[in-house]
A and B are shown apart, each in its own frame.
Chain A
Amino acid sequence: MKKETMLQLGILIFGVIAPMLIPSLSFQISILWLMILFALTWDMMGGQMGYNSLGNIAFFGFGMYICAGVQVGLYYDLAEYTSPFTTINATFTPDQYYTGLFLGIIAAAVGCVFIALILSTFLFGLRGPYFAIGTLGVALAAGELIGAWEYIGAGSGISIPVHPGEAGEKTQLFYYLTLFAMIGTFLFVKWLYGTRWGLAMNAIRDDEEKAEAMGIHTYRYKSMTWAFSAFFLGISGALFGNMTGFIEPLEVAFPTVTFGIFMVAMALLGGKGTLWGPVLGATLFHVVKEVTWTYLLGWQWVALGLLIVLNVVFFQEGIMGWMARKWPERFGLSVDSHMSRSKQSEEAS
């Protein structure tokens, strides 16, 4: 069996049995799955296509709000439900809960695809640092606008419908949903990078003007790739909103300076533009973060900041990039001893 297959199988088995082995860490590990999803979706844009988005977190927030809106809106008037002046006695039967959650997640994913396609029409006129700042602006503005929108609760947020089962059941449900979302994202990007689409993304990264001169449909690839990452981020937001139980715009839905920056940092740490880099980076980052939160309380941000600084100053290529430079042959980068195709087939026969 190939090493990569074994690694994937190992992660899958760990993912499935982890909540039984270490139930107390279920929540933490489901956050890890989301972190990997973040890094993978960021890397589609930043690493593979060269468009460093600082605002991808916006889709996380949009997904969260769309899902909550559907979960509540299916059964109650959303304005009344979120209004601070009226209290309605909102209860959800298990049937209503699961229908709402299911449809909410789908709506979050599809809704984010549309938002990405609309944002594409003006943001992809920007390149380099202007694109980064433009997307950051979108994420910040989105948080502010939602914070001012009474209909969906403005700054005071929305309480998500309560899971009908025991507390442990909810954690377990969302644990497996996040695991499933992460695996789905991973398999999707792995497949995508093996298609013509994947190479077109790389071509745009390396020289967009050349790609245009070669007739590549650059806009199509850019906008749809962003839509793909928005799809998975929308799902992640929908799940995270339900995990916390209460959402509000600034800290939970649009955490630009935490999750929003983490996604970039994690991809860079593992090695951007690779399949496994974001997975590795997110795992390492999350472990360091959790350990420092537990043992270095008060210094945790310093430790994380230090990790990021060390990464970008001394280790820009990330873990996977460093490995590719150290062992190029393992990554298929080698000089062939054959001068031509024909000689090779002669020797083979």
Chain B
Amino acid sequence: MSSIEIKNVSKSYGGVHANTNISMSIPSGKITGLIGPNGSGKTTLFNSVVGYHPIDSGSIQFKGKEISKLRVQEIARLGMLRTFQQTRIYSKMDCVRNMLISIPHRTMQWHEMLKPFTPELTEKAEHLLEFVGLYQKRHLISGDLSFGQQKLLEFAMALMNDPEILLLDEPTAGINPTLINGLIDRLLRANSEFGITLFVIEHNMRVIMNLAESIYCLAHGEMLAHGTSDEIQNDKRVIDAYLGAH
């Protein structure tokens, strides 16, 4: 079963055709990769899917429901979450608070908004912070963390939200190379243990080959190739696109 179904989506910024006629299918419960040179339109596609901007044409469905006209919050509350390439956290709050306010807002009623956080939620937040290795720093203001740590926090916040699918925009960018293996392991566990479908943009080839079974490659806003990690690795068009990229 597919989680997200993208059909013939196009998006341009003025004269720049950031996405042209993109179609792809993200299977439920799996990890799907999205690669492509800088400026090839990967983030633009993410933005279209999560409702950050209106698309010019095409259709985007989530679990069979058309979502291309919905707003960001509505899509997030359907259980589809994204992280940002530029990492966004609530920088004046400590890590635990960042986590607490990331609880699912899908079914939040008025009276629940006015309730305090339960000890169970704090416990869950601390477990997830431990999961990403930030337990010791949990009472520090998140804006004072290093960039890599903020990236990990943003990932933990997304997990706190119990999403069905998580769109990660370059999760390993800025992470210390020695910690990357640990992060790959956590992403795999988020998928296998928490059952979260992952759709991952990644520049690090080693990372994406280890993660994703199915990989799409964009170039100049168009779909260049699709296949398994082996197929993509040996695809001449993909190699050319990366080497010929400016």
Contacts and interface: CB of A to CB of B under 8 A. Distances in A.
Chain B binds chain A: yes
Interface stretch (B35-43, B100-108, B192-200, B232-240): B100-108
Contacts of B100: 196, 199
A341 interface: yes
Contacts of B113: 195-197, 200, 217, 220-221
B213 interface: no
B114 A212 contact: no
B122 to A, nearest CB: 11
Which of B84, B102, B104, B127 counts the most A-chain CB atoms under 10 A from its CB? B102
A300 B213 CA distance: 73
Secondary structure of the B contact surface, majority rule: loop
Contact of A200 (B101, B106, B123, B161): B101
8 contacts: A197-B113, A202-B101, A205-B92, A213-B50, A216-B101, A217-B73, A220-B113, A336-B136
Which of B73, B104, B140 counts the most A-chain CB atoms under 10 A from its CB? B73
Contacts of B116: 194-196
B135 interface: yes
B69 interface: no
B73 A340 contact: no
A333 B137 CA distance: 9
A170 interface: no
A202 B116 CA distance: 15
B107 to A, nearest CB: 11
Given A195-B113, A195-B114, A341-B127, A333 B97 contact: no
B101 A338 contact: no
Given A213-B76, A338-B136, A339-B135, A196 B114 contact: yes
A127 interface: no
Interface of B: 50, 52, 72-73, 76-77, 81-82, 84, 88-94, 97, 100-106, 108, 112-117, 123, 126-127, 130, 135-141, 157, 161
B73 A212 contact: yes
Contacts, number: 115
A218 B73 CA distance: 9
Contacts of A336: 135-139
Contacts of B130: 340-341
B102 A214 contact: yes
Contacts of B50: 213
Given A206-B92, A214-B76, A336-B135, A199 B105 contact: no
Contact of B135 (A199, A214, A341): A341
A334 interface: yes
Contact of B139 (A197, A202, A205, A333): A333
A213 B81 contact: yes
Contact of B105 (A205, A216, A332, A341): A216
A273 B101 CA distance: 17
Nearest to B88: A210
A169 interface: no
A199 B157 CA distance: 14
A196 B115 contact: yes
Interface in A189-211: 192, 194-197, 199-200, 202-203, 205-207, 209-211
